[in-house]
Amino acid sequence: MSSFNRLSSHVPTAAPRRLEPEDITSDRTRVDASEPSQGRIAPAPDAQPTEPARDTTMIQSVDRALDLLEILADAPQEMRLQDIAAAAGLKVSTCHHLLGTLTQRGYVTRGSKGKSYSLGASIHKLASGRGARFDLAREAEGYLAAMSERLGCTVLLATMDRTSLTILRQFDGGISWDASATEIATASHGTALGKAILAWLPEPEIARVVADFGLTPFTPTTIVSLIDLVESLRQIRRHGFAVEDREFKPGVLGLACALRNNAGAIIGAIGTLQPSESSSRERIRETQQELALCAREISSILR
């Protein structure tokens, strides 16, 4: 039985209508760290890294396992064993053994029917360790401060610490959540930042977040139905950003985009907060476009 199905009895009530990504744009603008930055140019590093050539000192099984992780990181959805083997240039039996080891260690997870594979929770935990969070905050803060000043709204940087949503940086721009860190930690389903991260996690990891904190109804528009949450996360994956429409705090509208590291794993999200009453659809679209561009720029410097 699916992890979501086991939890469905905890969240029987559907939430009222709220803004979702499809209400703002029909474009598919998924954040992809492999795409070059467009528009504003991020600060250039002193030296451009080059990809090291493979040599005979490499351990073949480790090299192949890393290839599989990179293939899964680039995949827009779960992949079948045969397709992964073909992409890696491996025999199906060899690929199966490597995936089995990666699955046991949590770096790969199998689909609900056991016939497909995707990145597992251990990739996310590895990417969001203490060092990664510190570097992310340091590298991103210049971009976030500039965006806050340019848009005139509050800008935040967040990551997931196990199952808790954690704010790393906040640049105030006239409105905020006025919430404690403890309350924010439980609000992944009620915030754009949290949903932007949840959308890309494996199903078991999402189920663990819901199991730990439930789907607390912070406001009348908070998602309290697992069905609604699954649909909202689907739209985020399709359009590339998350919306928070008075779902955590009344009168606050939030937008967020996920950040990827060089392995393609989601390591956090950046988001904006603005008053919902004064947020026209045009204003929301402009903010979303700025946010998506900034997320791509930050992701590009993490490669």
Instruction: Map out the domains of the chain as residue ranges.
Output: 3-41+126-301, 60-119
Out of 92-101, 149-158, 293-302, which region has the weakest mean confidence (pLDDT)?
Answer: 293-302
Mean model confidence pLDDT for the chain? 82
Q: Which helix (H) or strand (E) holds 259?
A: strand 252-260
Instruction: Write down the residue that tokens 């899964």 correspond to.
Output: 72
- If you average pLDDT over each of 3-7, 84-88, 174-178, which comes out highest? 84-88
The pLDDT assigned to 57 comes to 60
Instruction: Write down the residue that tokens 């949840």 correspond to.
Output: 198
Check whether 190 has a pLDDT greater than 80. yes
The predicted model gives 230-248 an average pLDDT of 95
Cα separation of the two ends of the chain: 37
The pLDDT assigned to 238 comes to 93
Check whether 46 has a pLDDT greater than 60. no
The predicted model gives 144-155 an average pLDDT of 94
Q: How far apart are CA 294 and CA 201, in angstroms?
A: 22
Q: How far apart are CA 48 and CA 109, in angstroms?
A: 34
Q: Which helix (H) or strand (E) holds 151?
A: helix 130-151
Which of the pair, 260 or 199, is modelled with greater confidence?
Answer: 199
- Residue pair 161/128 in contact by the 8 Å Cβ criterion: yes
Secondary structure (3-state) at 77: coil
The pLDDT assigned to 97 comes to 94
Percent of the chain clearing pLDDT 70 (strictly above): 79
Report the amino acid identity of residue 58.
M
Report the amino acid identity of residue 220.
P
The predicted model gives 278-288 an average pLDDT of 87
Q: How far apart are CA 71 and CA 68, in angstroms?
A: 5
The predicted model gives 115-136 an average pLDDT of 72
Check whether 6 has a pLDDT greater than 60. no
The DSSP line for 190-239 is GSHHHHHHHTTS-HHHHHHHHHHH----SSTTS---HHHHHHHHHHHHHH
Residue 229: pLDDT band by 50, 70, 90 thresholds?
very high
How many residues make up the chain in this entry?
303
Check whether 165 has a pLDDT greater than 60. yes
The predicted model gives 134-156 an average pLDDT of 89
pTM value > 0.85: no
Question: CATH for 60-119, among 3.40.50.10490, 1.10.10.10, 1.10.1370.40, 1.10.760.10?
Answer: 1.10.10.10
Q: How far apart are CA 258 and CA 281, in angstroms?
A: 21
Report the amino acid identity of residue 250.
P
- Identify the burial level of 97 via C-beta atoms within 10 angstroms of its C-beta, where 0-12 means exposed, 13-18 middle and 19 or more buried: middle
Percent of the chain clearing pLDDT 90 (strictly above): 52
The pLDDT assigned to 2 comes to 55
Enter the CATH code of domain 3-41+126-301: 3.30.450.40
Check whether 42 has a pLDDT greater than 80. no
Nearest CA to 263 out of 108, 101, 91 is that of 108
167 alpha carbon, distance to own chain's centre: 14
Check whether 74 has a pLDDT greater than 50. yes
Secondary structure (3-state) at 295: helix
